Amino acid sequence: MKIRKQRWQDSYIVRFFVYITNWVYGAIEVGFIGRLFTSYCATDRLFRHSGTGRLATAARAGRGRVRRTLRRHIALAMNHSLINRACSGLLLRFCRYSLRTFGAFFVTAGAYSAVMYWLFSVVWQSHGVEIFHLFSGTGMLVIGVLMLFSDVSLGYALSNGFFFRRILVPLFGVPEEAVSRIAREGRQGYMIAVPLGMAVGAVSALTSPFYLLAALIAFLLFYLVLSIPESGVVILLLFLPFAGFLPNSERWLFLVAALPLISYFGKLLRGKRAFHMEAQDLPVLLMVIYFLLSGVSVAGASAWKKALLSALCVGFYFLVVNVIATPNWLRRCRTALVISAMMAALTGIAQFLLAALKAGAFSLSAYSASVSAGFADQTTFAYYLVVAFPFALVAFITSRHADRVFTGLALLAIVTASVLTWVHSAMIAIIVMLLAFLLLYQRYSFPFVLIGSGLFLSVIGTLPPHAKERFFGTLRSGSGITVSRTVSAGNLAGKFFFEKGSGLFSRGAGISRLFFGVGSGGIEEFCLLYTSLPSREVARSLNFWLYSLMEGGVLGILLPAAFFFLFYQNCFSLMRKSTDQAVRLVSVTGVVMLTGVLLISIFRYAWYDPAALLVFFVASALIVALARYERSREVVVEQAEDGSEAEIEYYG
pLDDT tens by residue, 115-149: 777 777 766 666 666 666 677 777 888 888 888 88
Q: Which band of pLDDT confidence, cut at 50, 70 and 90, is reported for residue 433?
A: very high
Please give the pLDDT value at position 1.
43
Identify the DSSP state of 305.
H
Please give the pLDDT value at position 648.
38
Residues 210 and 196: beta-carbon distance below 8 Å: no
Angle between helices 610-641 and 229-239 (to 10 degrees): 140
C-alpha 549, offset from chain centre? 25
Selection from 453, 369, 478 nearest residue 470 by Cα: 478
Q: Is the dihedral of CA 329, 413, 581, 387 positive or negative?
A: negative
Work out the average pLDDT over 473-492.
54
156 vs 246: which has the higher pLDDT: 246
From residue 212, alpha-carbon distances to 206, 216, 341, 459, 560 in Å are: 11, 6, 29, 61, 44
pTM of the model: 0.83
Q: Is the dihedral of CA 261, 267, 271, 274 positive or negative?
A: negative
Please give the pLDDT value at position 299.
62
Selection from 202, 190, 211 nearest residue 110 by Cα: 202
- What 3-state DSSP class applies to 188? coil
Question: What is the C-alpha separation between 310 and 613, in angstroms, rounded?
Answer: 7
Please give the pLDDT value at position 68.
64
Please give the pLDDT value at position 151.
79
Residue type, 323: V
- What 3-state DSSP class applies to 488? strand
> Average pLDDT of the chain?
78
Does the pLDDT of residue 313 top 80, yes or no?
A: yes
Please give the pLDDT value at position 562.
93
Question: What is the C-alpha separation between 143 and 146, in angstroms, rounded?
Answer: 5
Phi and psi torsions of 550, nearest 5°:
-70, -35
Q: Which band of pLDDT confidence, cut at 50, 70 and 90, is reported for residue 613?
A: very high
Question: What is the C-alpha separation between 31 and 273, in angstroms, rounded?
Answer: 41
Identify the DSSP state of 501.
-
Please give the pLDDT value at position 504.
47
Residues 546 and 560: beta-carbon distance below 8 Å: no
> Tell me: the pLDDT tens digits for 321-357?
999 878 888 889 999 999 999 999 999 999 888 888 8
Q: Hey, where are the domains in the chain?
A: 89-228, 279-481+543-637
Residues 569 and 591: beta-carbon distance below 8 Å: no
529 vs 423: which has the higher pLDDT: 423
Does the pLDDT of residue 591 top 60, yes or no?
A: yes
Residues 340 and 417: beta-carbon distance below 8 Å: no
Residues 447 and 20: beta-carbon distance below 8 Å: yes
Please give the pLDDT value at position 565.
93
Question: What is the C-alpha separation between 133 and 209, in angstroms, rounded?
Answer: 7
Those residues whose C-beta lies under 8 Å from the C-beta of residue 328, and which sit 6 or more positions away, are 173
Q: Is the dihedral of CA 167, 172, 176, 180 positive or negative?
A: negative
Residues 284 and 565: beta-carbon distance below 8 Å: no
Which of these ranges, 105-114, 173-182, 410-419, has the smallest mean pLDDT?
A: 173-182
> Tell me: the pLDDT tens digits for 190-246?
888 888 888 887 777 667 667 777 777 888 888 888 888 888 999 999 999 998 888
145 vs 505: which has the higher pLDDT: 145
In DSSP notation, 32-96 reads: HHHHHTT-HHHHHHHHHTSHHHHHHHHHHH--HHHHHHHHHHHHHHHHTSHHHHHHHHHHHHHHH
Work out the average pLDDT over 272-291.
88
Planar angle of CA 354, 360, 361, nearest 5 degrees:
95
Please give the pLDDT value at position 361.
67
Q: Which band of pLDDT confidence, cut at 50, 70 and 90, is reported for residue 563?
A: very high
Which of these ranges, 1-5, 227-231, 396-400, has the smallest mean pLDDT?
A: 1-5
Residues 323 and 228: beta-carbon distance below 8 Å: no
How many Å is the maximal CA-CA distance in the chain? 105
Question: What is the C-alpha separation between 310 and 555, in angstroms, rounded?
Answer: 16
Identify the DSSP state of 650.
P
From residue 77, alpha-carbon distances to 37, 73, 266, 272 in Å are: 47, 6, 11, 14
Residues 153 and 189: beta-carbon distance below 8 Å: no
Across 162-308, the runs of DSSP E, i.e. the strands, are: none
Residues 652 and 231: beta-carbon distance below 8 Å: no
Which of these ranges, 193-197, 477-481, 529-533, has the smallest mean pLDDT?
A: 477-481
Does the pLDDT of residue 649 top 50, yes or no?
A: no
